[in-house]
Amino acid sequence: MLRVVFAALMLLFLPLSATAQDFQTLLQVHKDEIAKPSRRSVGPVLAELVASGHPALPAFLEAWQGKNVYQRLSDGLFFYIEDHGDTITLLDIETRNVSAQNVAAGTLDQIKPNGGVRRAIGEALVQFRLSAPDPAQRREALDAISRNLDPSQLGPLQASIADEPDAVLRLRKERLANYLIARFGDTSEARVAAIENLSDDLSVDGRAVLSQILRTRLTAAQNLPDDANVARILTPGDENLSRSAAYDMLVAQAGLPPIVTDQDVLKTIEANIDGGRSGGVALAAMTSWDMRYRTYDTLADQGLAPPRVTDLDAILANWTFAELYEETDTAVTTAATRIQESVATRVAFSQTVDIGLDAVSLASIYFLAAIGLAITFGVMGVINMAHGEFIMMGAYTGYVVQLFIPDYTLSLIVALPLSFAVTFAAGVAMERLVIRWLYHRPLETLLATFGISIALQQLAKNIFGTQARPLTSPGWLDGAWMINDVIQIAYIRIAIFVLAVLFLGLLLFVLKKTRLGLEVRAVTQNPRMASSMGINPDKINMLTFGLGSGIAGIAGVAIGLYAKVTSEMGSDYIVQSFMTVVVGGVGNVWGTLAGAGLIGVLQKWIEWLNPSNTLAAQTYMILFIILFIQFRPKGIVALKGRAAGD
Amino acid sequence: MTTLLEISGVSVSFDGFKAINNLSFQIGEPELRAIIGPNGAGKTTFMDIVTGKTKPDQGRVLWGDKGISLIGLSESRISREGIGRKFQKPTVFEAQSVRDNLAMALRNPRGPFDVLFYRKNAGGAARIEKVAEQIGLSDALERTAGELSHGQKQWLEIGMLLAQEPRLLLVDEPAAGMTPAERQKTTDILVEAARTRAVVVVEHDMDFVRRLDCKVTVLNEGSVLAEGSLDHVTQNPEVIDVYLGR
Amino acid sequence: MTRPSDATPTSKPRSFIANNPSVLWFLLALALFTLGVTALSEATGSGVISTSFVKTLGKTLCLCLIAIAMDVVWGYCGILSLGHFAFFGIGGYAIGMWLMYARTQAIVVENLSASVIPPTPAELSDAIASQIFGVVGASEFPAIWAFSHSLVLQLAMVVLIPGLLALVFGWLAFRSRVTGVYLSILTQAMTLALALYLFQNDSGLRGNNGLSGLQNIPGFEQVPQAQISMAFFWASAVALGLGYVMFAWVLRGKFGNVIRAIRDDEARVRFLGYHVESYKLFIFTLTAIVAGIAGALYYPQAGIINPGEVAPIASIYLAVWVAIGGRGRLYGAVIGAALVSLLSSWFTGGGAPAINLGFYTIQWTDWWLVLLGFSFVAVTLFFPGGIGSLFDKLVRRSS
């Protein structure tokens, strides 16, 4: 009972305490300084406002700085406004609620602080936000600073470091402060020290700081000043400065006559046509530039056009062209150049590692896509052109499972074995119905499975439509693992890598440690002998084909997770899978692994050499494979001796 | 009798297994020679080396009066040098007629353009007839080779070798799967052929070898164990031990 | 490389035709077909057959020609090439370069004739180049267009480039004894590499856009398309006839026996003293050249060529045609190519009536590929001789 009374009393008192901190009242204390601020008077006002810690303050400071605060002339109260053209709505300065409507513009005065005041407000704002209680606001403030580094931010930033409770933000603040010192520090020594600190910073921001310090300006001078901080001297005519560009600089700088362009030549000739001739030359004869120049020179001699500049080289020889650092302190530029080089080396190294990881992830996809093919090819000598469609079938199985099970993690757990089962069944069916009748006719098998491939592809199109279907990965597979600012690898790719390793292990176990594996190896190496030893090759073939197809189904789910599921996705992988098998060598898990690794690394490497053109990369890779087969027709890991059947 | 083929110090191994181990022997012209030996003695590998299918790891294979080396030459080149080979399993072109099979084997220029502009002629036809008579297939010339009996296919293949007019004939188990009458005829064909050229017969069947009545070389573990007349080698205790005794 | 094919029947006409009666029958059927189409066409006859269908028929004849080449290389020599459409496409590109250059040149010269100051040769060439390569953001002629101004040289390219490519590729592959499915995959890789190369914008062949406007023959702008398509139809028929006779002549007698023997047992042929690789290379190169010629006749009728045409799938379809028509018979390849490609355009063009099953309506545009795929499997399983084997049975029964 007592408690209820107490609560009621509290409720009564609440509005009172709110009025006590009314923002408008706080502002009215400094009404005149706010309405007509000057660089001198604004400092103490800002300090007091900041000290109040009022939650509406940041928004007000921003509006004040942005000339969005108005004062009502009648009572001097401050408002935000909504401008409707002919009428104006007044908004409360604290809550932004509507205070009055249909106010005439003449009754208000817009507050327009000058540049110096606005800068002071900005500093206060940053300082204020840098120590705001909400970490998100502090983070925003840091983002704002790093977007546009400005010397004025250094003081507030450094002041806020000591009280920063969040370790991550503190680190960021220190880093930003270091950037600011590197660029705007007071002494040469402080800046060089800050620049040295950047040597292990591979982030884009850190690298931007260095390149901003090293910004240059192209200059032409007859004599370079002694104190110029020269980045490099340019010779007109080399790849960095064409002769005409160099001359154009002189035209702008020293008022030399502009160059006569080919366009000008043609215009002048056209302007002086007289009865099919110009400058005394027949127009029909002007099919060469030699003749055109001569005509122009004639016209120029007659004073009809400015003469052509003919001694370009002699003029250019009198001038020195150089890129000068905007930074005049040579100690700073020297340090920055040195650090930039070392950062570049580290970045290059990291990029190599990054490409390596990309290659590994690509290789694991190729491995998954190709291993099923390798098994069927190795054991049965059968090229399954419909293998790609089994991959597609697995991916669509995953998609259908997601239609029924909305939880992505659970649906993935269901989809993996289910897609294996579906494609295993499809593979066994295909083996029983078609392939079994075509043994010892490998080329016909190739074509018959191709027939199945086009039929399956079109069937999928008829059932699921032509647009891509999503196979969404669970939330915990989103995002990427950032190793540093350059090296990062998506979790989904790590998952595919793990899947590939699992299957490698599983296959090795099945092939080396189980009865089935023993029989499969026996059939691979000598089918006739195996069958005379009581191994039923029919059963082995069926199971192997099912196994190979089932793995294709799993590969389909894996590929579907990071690419789209379409009816044509199989054909995107089939040729690469063939290449992987052929390069690796038939009938050997390690061979397929080697093939996938080689092709993955090669493809990434060529893409890196020629990043703008992935098509060219693929072209070169295929050409390489064609050549590779010439020298190792049996692949990297080849069966030897009579077992190879040659 | 001059030396036609000289093999000296030849070795070859597959994955560590020595199929041929320091093998040396010679064949003269004309000569009929039988090679016997247990399974895995290297008989087929020896033929593979001579015909260019397998490259030896070391050793020399010298051919003919000028003693040219056969190592590194292609199979077809070696064949054109005058070495014909008959495989264990009869390999004739079953889809084609006996006459076409023989015509393809006839000793003629082998280049694609020579063959493209080749015209049938009376000389060629006569040679085909003669070979067909030798192998007893005169009446079957127009039949498809696939229709022939096993023995007839063997003879056709020998006939194709004869049509090549080689100086050396390598024959792998010609009598396998034949009836006694067919064996007799095969023996006759081979003995007849050996009058003018060198013939090397690899055979398991002692009876057949005895009927050939020629010098015998016994191979074991990739090298020569014994050489001489059949009676001579069958009395060699080592031979009895590794081969006949089993 | 080969003797001119018109000289072949005259050298020993009786025995060649007598030994190959199918050649005579084929030529007769082709002649009747050609004359029939001519009599019914818009340009020269009653107009029952539209010009666009004449083009379709002309293109089909070209497909029959490459199908014969495929049959020779696969059905006779046992090399399942999954890359012969690459040669077909190269032939098309080679002739397309001239067609596009000559036509653009005419247009550009026309446009520039209005300008006051006559253009320099370099300006003219730049204008043509930017007209042709504007779509890929280039304005200069790539090196491979060096001969595009000359019809004769580009015609030579139609033969030389497929021939040289086949020679080099075949030499590499056959030399290292790549056979069977390995070789098939290698040829597939070859055509894939070519397609990917052509897809690039800086390939110098207008990337994805391909070459277009090829149906307009420079110098014949005033001639109506009906007559131009008739001329190409005739040219295609003559090419098919000559190609058929040439291959029949090549495959006659001993050379044909050796080729078939290579298909059946390559190693044995080698021990007979034949250099198998040379024979394969000869057949591979010869068929590639014929494929190039077929392509050069096809694409002016199609009007456009783009990199998709040489994608691996096209070459696989080629194998499907030959398999359905019947391998190892030249006329089988012709039947297969004509039947399947015409049926395919009938079904996918919406010509076939939809089947209403009550609960579902079968639209053939959607289901044709399913039908084709499964019937192809059925042919492979139950009917390995293809349609051509029906003729064999007929001949056997009548004799």
- Residue B224 sits in a domain whose CATH number is 3.40.50.300
What b-and-e string marks burial along B128-147, b requiring 16 or more CB atoms within 10 Å of the CB?
Answer: beebbebbbbeebbeeebee
Lowest mean pLDDT among A450-454, B79-83, B114-118, C268-272: B114-118
- Enter the pTM of the model: 0.81
Does any domain span residue C90?
yes
Does any domain span residue C276?
yes
Does any domain span residue C142?
yes
Residues of C with CB below 8 A from B160's CB? 272
Strands (E) in B38-167, as ranges, are: 58-63, 68-69, 83-86
Provide the number of structural domains found in chain B. 1
Does any domain span residue B134?
no
| Mean pLDDT across A255-262 | 82
Q: Which domain holds residue B191?
A: 2-93+165-244
Does any domain span residue B239?
yes
DSSP state for residue B36 in the 8-state scheme = E
pLDDT at position C247, please?
94
pLDDT at position A638, please?
64
Q: Using an 8 Å Cβ cutoff, are B105 and B160 in contact?
A: yes
Whether the pLDDT of residue A308 is over 60: the answer is: yes
Lowest mean pLDDT among A133-142, A491-500, C162-171, C326-335: A133-142
Chains that touch A (3 or more CB pairs under 8 A): B, C
Could you give the CA distance from residue A392 to residue A536 in angstroms, rounded to a whole number? 31
CA distance C154 to chain A (A): 25
Can you give the pLDDT of all 246 residues of chain B as single tens digits? 678 888 888 888 877 778 888 888 888 888 889 888 877 778 888 888 888 888 888 888 888 888 888 888 888 888 888 898 888 777 888 888 888 898 888 888 888 888 888 877 888 888 888 888 888 888 888 888 888 888 888 889 888 988 888 889 888 888 777 888 888 888 888 888 888 889 999 887 788 888 888 888 888 888 888 888 888 888 888 887 776 554
Q: Is C316 on the interface with A (CB under 8 A)?
A: yes
| Mean pLDDT across C262-275 | 90
pLDDT at position A184, please?
86
Q: Is A528 on the interface with B (CB under 8 A)?
A: no
**ipTM associated with this complex:** 0.87
- DSSP-H helix ranges across C305-356: 312-325, 330-348
Whether the pLDDT of residue A18 is over 50: the answer is: no
Does any domain span residue C161?
yes
Write the CA distances from A43 to A38, A49, A68, A77, A117, integer angstroms.
9, 10, 20, 21, 9
Q: Using an 8 Å Cβ cutoff, are C272 and B85 in contact?
A: no
**pLDDT confidence tier of residue C1, bands split at 50, 70 and 90:** very low
What b-and-e string marks burial along C52-64, b requiring 16 or more CB atoms within 10 Å of the CB?
Answer: ebbbbbbbbbbbb
Q: Using an 8 Å Cβ cutoff, are B192 and B30 in contact?
A: no
**pLDDT confidence tier of residue C399, bands split at 50, 70 and 90:** low
Could you give the CA distance from residue B80 to residue A350 in angstroms, rounded to a whole number? 61
Q: Do A642 and B14 touch (CB under 8 A)?
A: yes
Does any domain span residue C379?
no
Whether the pLDDT of residue A14 is over 50: the answer is: no
Write the CA distances from A467 to A455, A461, A462, B170, integer angstroms.
18, 9, 11, 65
Who among B51, B76, B95 is closest to C264 (CB)? B95
Does any domain span residue C359?
no
DSSP state for residue B97 in the 8-state scheme = B
Q: Is C274 on the interface with B (CB under 8 A)?
A: yes
**pLDDT confidence tier of residue C29, bands split at 50, 70 and 90:** very high
| Mean pLDDT across A625-639 | 76
The winner for highest mean pLDDT among A302-311, C38-47, C292-301 is: C292-301
| Mean pLDDT across C130-140 | 86
Could you give the CA distance from residue B64 to residue B82 in angstroms, rounded to a whole number? 9
**pLDDT confidence tier of residue A644, bands split at 50, 70 and 90:** very low
Whether the pLDDT of residue A419 is over 90: the answer is: yes
pLDDT at position C4, please?
40
Count, residues in chain C: 399
Query: What percentage of chain A carries pLDDT values higher than 70?
Result: 95
The winner for highest mean pLDDT among A293-302, A390-399, A503-512, B38-47 is: A390-399
Q: Is A624 on the interface with C (CB under 8 A)?
A: no
- DSSP-H helix ranges across A66-134: 115-130
Higher pLDDT, C383 or A9: C383
Q: Do C273 and B80 touch (CB under 8 A)?
A: yes
At B62 the three-state DSSP class reads strand
What is the residue type of C188?
A: Q
What b-and-e string marks burial along C216-225, b requiring 16 or more CB atoms within 10 Å of the CB?
Answer: bbbeeeeeeb
Q: Using an 8 Å Cβ cutoff, are A493 and A562 in contact?
A: yes
Domain boundaries, chain A: 21-117, 131-215, 260-308, 347-644
Higher pLDDT, A418 or A638: A418
Structure tokens that stand for A565 in this block? 């599921």
Whether the pLDDT of residue A608 is over 90: the answer is: no
What b-and-e string marks burial along A365-385, b requiring 16 or more CB atoms within 10 Å of the CB?
Answer: bbbbbbbbbbbbbbbbbbbbb
- Element spanning A44, H or E: helix A42-52
Smallest CA-to-CA distance from C5 within C16, A244, C81 is with C16
* Residue C25 CA from chain centroid, whole number: 23
Q: Which domain holds residue C39?
A: 7-315
pLDDT digits (tens, 9 = 90+) for A127-183: 777 877 788 878 878 887 887 787 877 887 888 888 888 888 888 888 888 888 888
Could you give the CA distance from residue A94 to residue A78 in angstroms, rounded to a whole number? 10
pLDDT at position C100, please?
93
At C52 the three-state DSSP class reads helix
**pLDDT confidence tier of residue C13, bands split at 50, 70 and 90:** very low
Q: Is B15 on the interface with A (CB under 8 A)?
A: yes
| φ and ψ at residue C214, rounded to 5 degrees | -75, -15
CA distance A377 to chain B (A): 23
pLDDT digits (tens, 9 = 90+) for A357-378: 888 988 998 898 888 888 888 7
Q: Are strands B198-202 and B168-172 parallel, antiparallel or unpaired?
A: parallel
Higher pLDDT, C13 or A211: A211
Residue of A295, A440, A450, A575 to mutate when probing chain C, most C C-beta within 10 A:
A450
Kindly give, in sequence order, each residue whose CB lies less than 8 Å from that of residue B238, ignoring residues fewer than 6 positions away: B220, B225, B226
pLDDT at position A639, please?
54
pLDDT at position C12, please?
41
CATH node for A347-644:
1.10.3470
pLDDT digits (tens, 9 = 90+) for C145-156: 989 889 999 999
Query: What are B31's strand-pairing partners?
Result: B198
- Element spanning A299, H or E: helix A289-301
Could you give the CA distance from residue C186 to residue C161 in angstroms, rounded to a whole number? 19
For chains A and C, count residue pairs whose Cβ atoms are closer than 8 Å.
Answer: 149
Does any domain span residue B160?
no
Does any domain span residue C84?
yes
Query: What are B199's strand-pairing partners?
Result: B32, B169
Query: What percentage of chain C carries pLDDT values higher than 70?
Result: 95
Provide the number of structural domains found in chain C. 1
Does any domain span residue C208?
yes
Q: Provide the mean pLDDT of chain C.
A: 87
Q: Provide the mean pLDDT of chain A.
A: 82
